[in-house]
Structure 1
Amino acid sequence: SGIRSAITVATLSDSRQLLVFADSLATVYALDPDTLEIVWQRSARLNNFSVISGSISYHNDRLYVPISLFEVAAAGSPSHICCSSHGGVMAVAAGNGKKLWTWHATSDASLQGKNRAGEDRYGPSGAAVWSTPTIDAQRNRLYIGTGENLSAPATDTSDAVIALDLDSGELVWKFQATAGDIWNAACLNGGANCPENPGQDFDFGASVILADIGDTQLLLAGQKSGEVFALNPDGDDKSRVVWRKRLSQGTSNGGIHWGMALAGQSLYVPVADPEREQLGYTPKPGLYALDVNDGDLLWQHPVKRNCDFDYSKRPLVGLENNRAATKPDPAELYKCSFYYGLSAAVAASDELIFSGGLDGTIRVFDRASGNVLWSDNTAVPVNASNGIAGHGGAIDVAGQIVVGEWLYVLSGYSMFGQLPGNVLLAYKISK
């Protein structure tokens, strides 16, 4: 199985270090950093559809593992009996991989009736956790975001920000932004597994940010609905929302995806919005700067397609592109990308914002004004330093990171019809 999580460097209380990561099929590994030998490994699967796409958080000799699922895609198949899986979080001992507790995003699914084709229908399901959990050591809490339900009945843990006790995994509080959001890939092709009155697939995929704001703290959460929420971690249900700001209408693969960035008193929000033939929908991809105190818009920088796209060759929507009978010629895709929004998490420094685009463009913004100071097209052929000819593509999921004077960019990601590619690029930052 491939690996999608980042590598977490865990320094244990006995001074040992471990490299911790998970493969896509939800096996967690701990490696010795000197020998790369496996110290331990364990499955974090909750069911047959469990996957891990977020990274693993470490605190006080414990690892917190986010658990997602791929049944959202499988449900698009007419032969699939929908839906029995759900997301969650597992805490394990960092030293030996022993399971300490598991939080389940829904109860176990049971037979609920029949779908439109007369096949058995199960629920509740869904509420995947596909981002990296946030540690709040002061309150002894773990914060996660969840995705939509896959089948009825809807739960109040979907499309939500969840606070768990670090020691026990017990639910402390929950904030649901979008109630009744039941959706799966069958809704893209008119399949029988699509529920009546389906939702819009508005996950919280970006990791929750714990922000120091003067003498107080806020939780900042971005949703695929295109909305940002500032939450009071100590409030009750009535006072939980401090402010909320809508930046776009969002879609199932639009809005806010993988991560926002906080610098000073400003929050920087990438919006991925793709173009859709949807009545009343206007995509608003770009980078937005918000005042973290009240959510007021400080500046915005829309991004646009800088080429002429042949709409007869546009990819199928989202997960439906995975099962397309024919695949386009990559050479044709590189001529002009259908996708060009900002899906990858952004990175911030004192003066700069770094953001990669789905068309392969890497940009460096001035943090104060939002002006683009530098950009480069990574979706080009590359003669790599290891002697292998490669090609850049869409910047998505992992995106880019900054270490000292170096900017590292992972270019190429084609799961949903974006530009394929296979290169790691290193840029030297200079004034």
Structure 2
Amino acid sequence: MDGMGNINIDVLHSESPASALYDLHCAECHDNPTGRVPPRASLRYRPAEGVYQALLSGGAMAPMAAGLSDHELKSLVKLLTGREPREIKDPRENLCASRGANNRVLSGDWVSTHGDVRGRRFRDIPELSSQSLDRLKLKWSYAYPGGASGPATTAGKTVYLAGTGYVIALNADAGCADWAYPTEGRIVRAATVAAIASEPVGEDKALPSGIVVFGDDSGTVVALDASSGSMFWQVNVASHVLARITAAPTVHDDIVYVPVSSMEDPLTHDGNYVCCSSRGGVAAIELKSGKLLWKQEHIVAPLAALGTGAGGDSNHRAAGPLAAEYGGSHFQQGPAGASTYTPLTIDSKRGVVYATTAEEYGFTGATGPYSVVAYDLKSGARKWQTSLMPHPKERARICAKLETDCRNLFSTGTSALLHPLSDKEDILVVAQKSGVVHGLDPANDGTILWSTQVAEGGDLGGVMYGMASDAEKIYVPIADVDSPQGLFTGSLAALDPATGKIIWRTPPPRPACNWNKENCISGQVAAVTVVSDMVFTGFWDGFVRVYSSEEGRLLKEIDTAIEYKAVNGVAHGGQVSGYPVTVGKDAVYITSGASSILKPGNALLVYSLDGN
């Protein structure tokens, strides 16, 4: 693995006992994949712990692994993923002595990844401000089983999170587990908590008071009773073998809106893989029944063969072999791509759900990728789409300055943020990996009102995961971890929502990794969270830094990449990535080590005033 976490694929072809085991037990299917069998190359992008669980008794691959020792299983996992699987402790060993009352969603709970359906990631808590920040102390910590997958969400006195192999409900006061739901080797990043909004009548009176909803890497959405962890319903919304649900669903008016993505993206760089056919999209499910209401793919053009002499729709046939920078001859079908990796945003005023989309695989020029797409909440009809792809000449100019294949660079890196300009007017804000933030008019079919370059940008992202806003500003975290100059790596910018002008920008922090000083990077590959007059944000050097929302002054630094005595053993912090900071009524929850390759961890850190 190199300094950016890229796996050395030479291990896939090594002559070793593990390679012989693979040939005997696995190659027949994974070297000749059909149906829902993933190709071998895709396994190196899966967590080692998930592959290990699939091989154990009860896992999907257990029959093929029958008779192998634990040492042999782990050698197979290392061969396929490049990593040793970490120990996965059963969270049910730390159950609470008694389970609390029925879990109910209360006003102000942080029930979803972004904290609200508009994607603003903001809470105004008078007791927690810059004046009381010094009183913020660690109350307790928890060791995610295996590794941290994503952020915590809260409802009432319960904290919900996903670790390797489990979705877990923790008591917010003590950190013991109310329940733990085994995910049977499936990868779950985060969960959303919801309550039935409509007044229950008849049989509906038996519905749970709270429902936990999440998606997994098989394209399946699962709903659990929030109080007991028992299965309520499940439904598959994406059948492609490489389809997955990366972000937690967004729930609005008793409908679950699910973003669909794919893990076909990394295989676009593999010349041995015949690419590509997966597509991102949105699905809508009835919360109380699990009934699929509608489903849309972002790319509507039919899948066709690509390349000279290929069959299929002539509108999607390349005029000649695709350029080498787009992957060359192994792009044999398309259009494909346009995954949605981040949570969806709801605009109840206009009756639409917004999805942001990533790159197209192969560059046929199809509509859908690199865009913001608005769908009708009820019917799923596409209301409008705004492409954020620059004009070809401008795109070529930008790409010439960077080390990039110019395919992933212009993907949207964040969810859409719906910010109120007044009681009547809103603006929709979205950012790209190229480092550009755009303000769109949601009342005028997504017309671009302003665009601001805040970062140099790169394939690993100029701006990633999510921005935040309070009444006055949009707060933009700068990643730029693969920036050639690093001018803005790790800085934080505050923009005027109406004009996009930069109000202030923090200087990049000095990288301070406590595990590796030589290859340390302090980019913000994480969404920011605004609490009262403070901006909390996570960094690749393991720190959470807190800034003043007024002028960007640094208020506090927390090095999370250390060892913690947790309520269930020992927790290890790491890089702070993804969606690390969520806020309850009386606590701040920091996830350290999720969405990380260089320094993964498994720590949930719970801070409160005076540690009470």
Question: Which structure has the highest helix share of the two?
Answer: 2
Q: Residue 224 of structure 2 aligns to which amino acid in structure 1?
A: L
Unaligned runs of 5+ residues in structure 2 are 1-185, 201-206, 308-320, 396-402
1:425 — aligned with what?
605
Instruction: Report the 3-state secondary structure (helix = DSSP H, G, I; strand = E; otherwise coil) of the residue aligned with 2:556.
Output: strand
Counterpart of 1:305 (choices 500, 510, 535) is: 510
Counterpart of 1:213 (choices 421, 426, 430) is: 421
Measured after TM superposition, the shift of residue 98 of structure 1 is 1.3
Q: Quick check: 2:578–2:595 contact (8 Å CA) kept in 1?
A: no
Counterpart of 1:376 (choices 536, 539, 558) is: 558
The 1:337/1:27 distance shift into structure 2, 3 A limit, reads: farther
Matches within 5 A, 1:60-71: 60-71=253-264
The alignment status of 1:102 with 2:280, answered yes or no, reads: no
Instruction: Report the 3-state secondary structure (helix = DSSP H, G, I; strand = E; otherwise coil) of the residue aligned with 2:266.
Output: helix
d(CA) in 1 for partners of 2:391, 2:335: 12
Unaligned runs of 5+ residues in structure 1 are 183-189, 310-331
Measured after TM superposition, the shift of residue 180 of structure 1 is 8.2
Residues 306-334 of structure 1: CA deviation (Å, up to 9, x unaligned)? 35x9xxxxxxxxxxxxxxxxxxxxxx944
The 1:198/1:252 distance shift into structure 2, 3 A limit, reads: closer
Q: Residue 369 of structure 2 aligns to which amino acid in structure 1?
A: S
Q: Residue 62 of structure 1 aligns to which amino acid in structure 2?
A: I
Measured after TM superposition, the shift of residue 19 of structure 1 is 1.1
Matches within 5 A, 1:15-34: 15=200, 16=207, 17-34=210-227
Q: Quick check: 2:358–2:412 contact (8 Å CA) kept in 1?
A: yes
Q: Residue 195 of structure 2 aligns to which amino acid in structure 1?
A: A
Matches within 5 A, 1:350-369: 350-369=532-551
Question: Which structure has the highest strand share of the two?
Answer: 1
d(CA) in 1 for partners of 2:498, 2:474: 10
The alignment status of 1:260 with 2:467, answered yes or no, reads: yes
Matches within 5 A, 1:324-363: 333-335=515-517, 338-363=520-545
The alignment status of 1:395 with 2:589, answered yes or no, reads: no
Q: Quick check: 2:192–2:250 contact (8 Å CA) kept in 1?
A: no
Q: Residue 71 of structure 1 aligns to which amino acid in structure 2?
A: E
d(CA) in 2 for partners of 1:338, 1:357: 11
2:378 — aligned with what?
167
Measured after TM superposition, the shift of residue 366 of structure 1 is 1.0
d(CA) in 1 for partners of 2:270, 2:510: 33
d(CA) in 1 for partners of 2:408, 2:456: 10
CA RMSD of aligned residues (A): 2.5
Matches within 5 A, 1:30-429: 30-106=223-299, 107-113=301-307, 119=330, 121-178=332-389, 198-214=406-422, 215-236=424-445, 240-276=447-483, 278=484, 282-307=487-512, 333-335=515-517, 338-386=520-568, 388-413=569-594, 415=596, 417-429=597-609
Q: Residue 359 of structure 2 aligns to which amino acid in structure 1?
A: E
Aligned residues: 390
d(CA) in 1 for partners of 2:581, 2:610: 17
d(CA) in 2 for partners of 1:414, 1:229: 25
Q: Residue 356 of structure 2 aligns to which amino acid in structure 1?
A: G
d(CA) in 1 for partners of 2:271, 2:518: 33
d(CA) in 2 for partners of 1:152, 1:366: 42
Q: Quick check: 1:338–1:418 contact (8 Å CA) kept in 2?
A: no
Most deviating of 117-126 and 39-48: 117-126
d(CA) in 1 for partners of 2:189, 2:537: 20
The 1:82/1:179 distance shift into structure 2, 3 A limit, reads: farther
Q: Residue 227 of structure 1 aligns to which amino acid in structure 2?
A: V
The 1:129/1:414 distance shift into structure 2, 3 A limit, reads: closer
The 1:104/1:118 distance shift into structure 2, 3 A limit, reads: closer
Q: Residue 191 of structure 2 aligns to which amino acid in structure 1?
A: A
TM norm structure 1: 0.84
Higher relative contact order (CA 8 A, sep 6+): 2
Measured after TM superposition, the shift of residue 64 of structure 1 is 0.7
Measured after TM superposition, the shift of residue 10 of structure 1 is 3.5
Residues 319-356 of structure 1: CA deviation (Å, up to 9, x unaligned)? xxxxxxxxxxxxx9445653311121111123111111
Measured after TM superposition, the shift of residue 405 of structure 1 is 3.5
Measured after TM superposition, the shift of residue 213 of structure 1 is 0.6
d(CA) in 2 for partners of 1:105, 1:180: 21
d(CA) in 1 for partners of 2:549, 2:487: 26
Measured after TM superposition, the shift of residue 75 of structure 1 is 2.4
The 1:260/1:353 distance shift into structure 2, 3 A limit, reads: same
Residues 32-70 of structure 1: CA deviation (Å, up to 9, x unaligned)? 122211011011214121111112111122111000100
The alignment status of 1:6 with 2:6, answered yes or no, reads: no
Instruction: Report the 3-state secondary structure (helix = DSSP H, G, I; strand = E; otherwise coil) of the residue aligned with 2:604.
Output: strand
Q: Quick check: 1:180–1:199 contact (8 Å CA) kept in 2?
A: no
Residues 200-250 of structure 1: CA deviation (Å, up to 9, x unaligned)? 43222311111111231111112111111111112257xx11211110121
Percent identical pairs in the alignment equals 30
1:312 — aligned with what?
none
Instruction: Report the 3-state secondary structure (helix = DSSP H, G, I; strand = E; otherwise coil) of the residue aligned with 1:234.
Output: helix
Q: Quick check: 1:360–1:395 contact (8 Å CA) kept in 2?
A: yes
The 1:44/1:75 distance shift into structure 2, 3 A limit, reads: same
d(CA) in 1 for partners of 2:558, 2:586: 17
